[in-house]
Amino acid sequence: MGEVWLTIGVLAVATATIRASGPVLLGGRDLPAVVRGVIGLIAPALLAALVVVQTLSVPEGGAIDLDARILGVAAAGGALVLGASTLPVVALAAVVTALVRALA
Amino acid sequence: MYLEGGDTEARGQFRSGVRIGLPYAVASLLLAISFGVLAEPVMGPVAPIVMSALLFAGSAQFAATAVLAGGGGAAAAIVAGILLNLRYVPMGIALAPSLRGGPLRRAAIGQTMIDFSWAAASRGGGRFDPAFMMGATTPAYPCWVGGTALGVLAGDLIGDPAALGLDALFPAFFLCLLVEGELRPGVPALVAGLGSLIALVLIPFTPAGVPVIAASAAALVGLWRSD
């Protein structure tokens, strides 16, 4: 049980520090234009990577997992292209994934 | 609490954020229930709820718990959790230029960063709306902590999350935010493609968390090109 509380305590401090780092070190000041140019591209880079990792990786990492989630997220992408809004798109992803798993 | 008293525009943005955050909070509740169910045999009833309240970081909590459950020990669990949360460094760097006020206030706003609210508050070209982000995070927090408690105390309310396709909810949310917000033609779309390629190539060879952090390097395209 000591291991559990040690893990929680260290991770709590580390997570709060990590979340504070960018805002404390780089916030509240004007940055050079070239830095702002890079910073403005972090959101598309990270968000695209999150979609890929959460669709294709096994939860513990280290391996690609080709499973029903891919079809669910692909269906969501199709619905988005057709102009559907967030809630139906997200629900469709879960329903398609569940259906494919049930049939497989 | 973080908002200046007379700032009605920020209040309006906060409320808009809360509305956007409600459906995500429902998804968080479901995931938190499954976290509580998984963590209770590993940590007992109290620790998972404390962990959710202090960390508020789903992927890191699942990863650290999986390491502990496998007998990996505290050091390995801590490393796994930190790797998954390190993406908050580039996320915080992106957020920083949009923050006003002293370092303590900025640090406090940084604590309200979760993937969803951070991405939903992005206004393109590196601008973020901090009040909107705090609003979008607000409904998710009680759902995350309360859902963990439900999972610990009430057990398996929702059955197998995978059978219900719940693991597709989060990538689908992020895909919506990407397509509707970030995928503007030109350099941003190019960087999104490069970021996803970096992540894809690294998945088989690196621990969980590393592919997403490494993908933020795609933003360095901005050193040469911007628009």
pLDDT of residue B7: 78
The stretches in chain B having pLDDT less than 50 are: 1, 5
Please give the share of chain A, as a percent, with pLDDT higher than 90. Answer: 79
Residues of B in contact with A63 (CB under 8 A): 203-204
φ/ψ region of B3 (left if φ > 0, alpha if ψ in -120 to 50, else beta) reads: beta
The string of pLDDT tens digits covering residues A42-92 is 999 999 999 999 999 998 889 999 999 999 999 999 999 999 989 999 999
Q: Is the ipTM of this complex over 0.85?
A: yes
Q: Is residue B36 a contact partner of residue B161, using CB atoms and an 8 Å limit?
A: no
Task: Look at residue B1 in the predicted model and tell me its pLDDT.
Answer: 47
- One DSSP character per residue, chain A reads -HHHHHHHHHHHHHHHHHHHHHHHHHTTS---HHHHHHHTTHHHHHHHHHHHHHHHB-TTBSSB--SHHHHHHHHHHHHHHTT--HHHHHHHHHHHHHHHHHH-
B140 touches chain A (CB under 8 A): no
Cβ–Cβ gap B219/A12 under 8 Å: no
Give the pLDDT confidence score for residue B226 in this predicted structure: 57
List B residues 22-61 in contact with A (Cβ-Cβ < 8 A): 23, 27, 42-44, 47, 50-51, 54-57, 60
Question: How many angstroms away from the CA of B23 is the closest CA of chain A?
Answer: 7
Residues B172 and B32: their CA atoms lie apart, in Å, by 18
Which pTM does this prediction carry? Answer: 0.89
Query: What is the pLDDT, as a whole number, of residue B171?
Result: 94
State the smallest CA–CA distance between residue A25 and chain B in angstroms: 8
Measured between CA atoms, how close is B32 to chain A, in angstroms? 15
User: For residue B216, which of B96, B113, B128, B88 has the smallest C-alpha distance?
Assistant: B88
B68, B165, B217: residue with CB nearest A72: B165
Interface test with B, best of A19, A56, A67 (most B CBs within 10 A): A19
Q: Using CA atoms, how far apart are residues B56 and B49, in angstroms rounded to an integer?
A: 10
Looking at residue B8, what is its pLDDT?
Answer: 86
Contacts of B206 in chain A (CB under 8 A): 61-62
